Structure 1
């Protein structure tokens, strides 16, 4: 009988080989399922499997067979509007973060299964990157930042030429970069002003704590575990926790680092106003040069910039405008026409102006 993976229990016996994108079965016919098998099936996004109607102990399987055309839970989730899915994941993350603070275990499979539909939609519609900072809110910053870092990491890895499996690993690593924040004192997490030296020293431990959460997981590649540990390291040695520099800093960690800092700069914080994605990326180029991989910076610039002719935007002086032409050497600063006028504005020359928002 064919059943949903969400109805499986330990002791179920597989009636047909379960295949993924590999040449070998993920789970072989005749296997008695254990907890690790159930986790693996969900990790590989397997929706339905063929099982015997009897469990290994001879008792009947208590599950309804999948009806032809039935919609799986993950498909129901994916059919929802993107923002609704996003907010649901934010709420879920807040719940599990509270559990981590109380000593609860990390469930990577559950996070990944809720993240995957967002990644698929983001890949199809990259303009979502212009909305993430608008939805972020200071009081739930860690949840918004973790989910958005995952999405941006995925898009950046995709743009940088990584394969689908690699992009997915970056996304999962992205959503896990700040799990270590659960070990931080509440007084630090809720502080509305700048951290003092003692608090800053404590907060710099969070990459190590995040690494400890994932170091034994078989669902994350070792390079991604190391990337989580290094996501606050910088090529010039100015980062933490070790102050690594140059070749000591992995390129994988640079993907997470760039996604992390880009979203942080565009988000509302308890102690800082958010920046436009366009302005934030310019600041990274101008003020953070030498800290990030140039090829990855260019890749992120291509994702954010290069707006199509006709795209409507809001400028930093609150005027609405329409993109007329984007010069390859000025992807973040196209030529625009102010709405209701014939005035053409070359943002590459009008440096006091910049794009505040893309109108979707």
Structure 2
């Protein structure tokens, strides 16, 4: 019997394993429901579950009523739900960040429970990678950056062959990378111009502060704790806080590092305009070579580029166009046909142009 989670009552028994973004069921078949189970289901954004027709005490379970017109109603579109969950998490993050600034403790369980429903939608809507830079805003940059780093880390880990548990751990680590920013002076966080040398030195301490927030938590693997500490390290030794290089920087650290810098480059800041995801990735390839893992860069390039034939885009000169062919060696620069004309533009040759936006 299919029942809405919001109609569940204590004493119902689960008739089928309830799965989330986990290897094992959230709740196993045969479990007698209590309030803590109902809260868990809501936290994982589970809408309906299958239950046996009788409660554990033998009384009958009432089926969820079908409202007029719902029998053949189409499913709600996924992307608006994803955007709403994203926006809700931004609001929640802003609230807890303000609490951290006032000395409040970090609650990883609560933050993860808010993140998980969003990851469920991201897993089904990977084109979100073209939307994150549009949703971000300078006013609430730290919240947008933290949530987007979590999403990008999840997608990049998945693309790189991590198992589901590893993807989730990296997403949680991603949303925690900038917790240490709560210890920065407001004068630095709200500054609209370039930082002074002293301010830059202070900002470079935030990975250490982030690590201090999570170092004693049993909810994160040690590898993820190290990744948070190292998310600004670079393979060539040019990063911080320790200037680690090469094999001293873990693969998970590199996932967070690439997700972090990619979103930062594509986001509006108080002191800098945002870049197109396509242009930002080209800049990373051309100007940051040697700092990031090549395999991860290629994975990100495949995630952003390689657009299917027929994909509609906006070019950097504001013209609309349609992708007609993508060469494997130029994933970020396909051949496109300008809207309203027969003009074919080979972006691999027309270097002054690039894709500004993908139209979903």
Question: Structure 2 length as normaliser, TM-score?
Answer: 0.82
The answer for the alignment partner of 2:141 in structure 1 is 141
Deviation at 1:116, TM superposition (A): 1.6
- CA offset digits 1:244-296 (Å, max 9, x no partner): 00001111000000000000000000000000000000000000000000000
Q: Is the counterpart of residue 154 in structure 1 residue 154 in structure 2? A: yes
The answer for the alignment partner of 2:329 in structure 1 is 329
Is the contact between residue 188 and residue 199 of structure 2 (CA under 8 Å) also seen in structure 1? Answer: yes
Is the contact between residue 324 and residue 335 of structure 2 (CA under 8 Å) also seen in structure 1? Answer: yes
The answer for the alignment partner of 1:293 in structure 2 is 293
SS at match of 2:104: coil
Q: Please list every run of 5 or more consecutive structure 2 residues that lacks an aligned counterpart in the other structure.
A: 66-75
Deviation at 1:81, TM superposition (A): 1.9
In the alignment of these two chains, the number of paired residues is 337
SS at match of 2:224: helix
RMSD of aligned Cα (Å) = 3.7
CA distance in 1, matches of 2:45, 2:192: 43
CA distance in 2, matches of 1:299, 1:21: 24
Deviation at 1:84, TM superposition (A): 1.4
CA distance in 2, matches of 1:117, 1:304: 23
The answer for the alignment partner of 1:97 in structure 2 is 97
- CA offset digits 1:141-178 (Å, max 9, x no partner): 00000000000000000000101110000100000000
- CA offset digits 1:331-350 (Å, max 9, x no partner): 00000000011000000011
Is the contact between residue 333 and residue 347 of structure 1 (CA under 8 Å) also seen in structure 2? Answer: yes
The answer for the alignment partner of 2:308 in structure 1 is 308
- CA offset digits 1:98-136 (Å, max 9, x no partner): 000011111112221221222222222211111110111
CA distance in 2, matches of 1:292, 1:186: 31
Cα 1:156/1:43, change in 2 over 3 Å: farther
- CA offset digits 1:49-93 (Å, max 9, x no partner): x9xx9xxxxxxxxxxx997659xxxxx9x9962211111111110
Is the contact between residue 169 and residue 220 of structure 2 (CA under 8 Å) also seen in structure 1? Answer: yes
Cα 1:95/1:44, change in 2 over 3 Å: closer
The answer for the alignment partner of 1:199 in structure 2 is 199
Q: Please list every run of 5 or more consecutive structure 1 residues that lacks an aligned counterpart in the other structure.
A: 54-64, 71-75
The answer for the alignment partner of 2:226 in structure 1 is 226
CA distance in 2, matches of 1:226, 1:68: 49
The answer for the alignment partner of 2:352 in structure 1 is 352
Deviation at 1:46, TM superposition (A): 10
CA distance in 1, matches of 2:165, 2:42: 12
Is the contact between residue 43 and residue 113 of structure 1 (CA under 8 Å) also seen in structure 2? Answer: no
Of the structure 1 ranges 317-326 and 114-123, higher mean CA displacement relative to structure 2 is found in 114-123
Question: Structure 1 length as normaliser, TM-score?
Answer: 0.82
The answer for the alignment partner of 1:58 in structure 2 is none
